[in-house]
Structure 1
């Protein structure tokens, strides 16, 4: 049996010891239960890595008797079964990576769950264990000398927002600014000559970014070699029949986010995909939409969380800028009631997928459909310029549209407007919306505060 020295690992080397299929199934099913708990926490509106998130996960891990996770969270090096728990942790990661490498959505979901689990373990590591991890994983940064730190004291205190920390005893690091992109938009680092300076408490951001790249690249590679790499029928059957926990982007159910009449314009500007953003602007300007536009946008609003009462008020307020209330109630209100299942067959309409939107055929004067497929290319590129795209991003969008890779072009639009390094190819406007909100939360959540509290000397 391999000797696993630390709870934290980048899983660089696959496990080499023997493992029976029954044991393998037990190991993987326990890890899948951990993913399920994380998914439940997200649906309850808890933000990853916050105190309430961690409290919920720990309570559920104990309640469901996930023995491997319990031992690792306690981090008692001399407890019974500790090396076995680390072994199971290593095997579970590698076996499930074979299952989750098959599609982009699964790869992103797997990577997020693994990184959230990594962060929980990171918080419980002792200083000497963390130092050993940095050395073993080659994630070490350059330590800022005391002299340089004193010279930059004013800038570091202002930009890195560490006034609560004892500056003299806090270790600062510096790396190339491109290695820590999630902190740049929120101005939580000091930039100087291409280097980003940050305190020890922010190391988790650097590690998170490194591991995201590492795991994403590894999953992509596994996806390429998997069809020819597995020759054992029993293993193939095992992988194909694991009850995977997978992402569901259909309904946006985060209780901490409210989409209502007060903030819908701000939400549209920040988080809508281009197709829905266009329809929203058109409605605000012309106070009317044709049938297909009303269907595409109305059901989207329902599934991102706009209440029935707010939806009826929203549509009526816009339409009655051009018509009487009586005419709206008589001619148009039924459709919006129908979208929410209040009249007629009480149908719970599903939101449109990108494929369905691309397969629609907007006629003259119609504005539904996919901008990347249905718009004139010059109009699309002009929109990209007005949204502040760089020449490089405009060229990428143009090339993808010409190659008829419309979903990838939408992904490029997301990257350019969010300054993000996501790898998702969106399958629906709702998924784009969820990803946008989650990206904003990743910049503004209290992860730093949590680690400041845990690492404060």
Structure 2
């Protein structure tokens, strides 16, 4: 779909009209979009990736909501909050906002993700399901007049039911059950409008018996029109994904786009790292975590992956290279300074001499802090990187326990690690069901909720606002925040009691 230049990509279908490129007219008159036409303008590689990541954050959280059996109201609330954070899409009434810029970003992100998720039937199915829900949330939160304007702008091929036909089937139409109306008078019936479509276009309404069927036609009340719109959106998107899949091999020659698409297509497996890391890690180093404090922090605040690495290190007095890298970068972002890191690793490797430690390990520790070699400031590994890269061997401790442990070992590890924090055997079936379905970061998030229930975390809340765990440091940081808040509240309550006394 995209033909990349040095710093930009553009669609090869045809040249964009000058008025679209210059934005002298409004190319996006509506907040809702069926995405019939691909982007007809130049797109930088930065925009190509950032727009897709922003949208993928929303879709990944929607899929997490499916796995966690959230109600539609809960899902809508979480999705709306995520959209406001990552992919704002204001109504036309928000005249002071950059509406065209917002809708362009939404448009580009959708089409990039089509490229990423058209590669297999399973990815296409998951993409369509998440996109359908995003469209539904936007439909339900859209302004009524703008929604009607969107409907008028498209030809949905609905046949209006005239008064004569409506009168002929009055008894049947008035008998149709609906969760919209509790009382239905004949006067109201005369005011209402109906459309008829082939029943195959509204299978959900047929299943719920909320339409009248006659001769292969479904007579749909105007207030049920959303069902027809959603079905049309799904059909169009499924067809478009099939077409994109057939055209995708032509992109194989572009070595810049394929790695981006490969990375995006993994987003449903581990979620997308939130912007938390970029805003938090830069100030983490040197924040005061001492070497002697790490063991206590591991028992209280570490996710399963880092807790496993810590326990393996304490038991074996050694970690192999990938384990040291994964754990060392985590500690760095946690707030362990370079001096404290060297002290921690030297004390942990107690079975070797100072000379061996200095020759074989000290340089690598300094290198991870950007003090040797290329002097790069290496970030800690996200859940996606831990899940997808450098799979652990039989004698290695890195990786994600939810994916790389056997079921028996995972259950034993969870009980051993988190029983003191309220995790019990009765919680295991829910966690293992999620693990078997391949939603590893959702399982980790649920463990976080269970083990932090004493701090007021409720089921479905995640690390805040319903957001799932997508980074080990995100887990640890939120856990420490909750403990700090609980301690401050306890101190405040004690002070209040002393004053009252």
TM-score by length of 2: 0.46
The structure showing larger relative contact order (alpha-carbon pairs under 8 Å, at least 6 residues apart) is: 1
TM-score by length of 1: 0.50
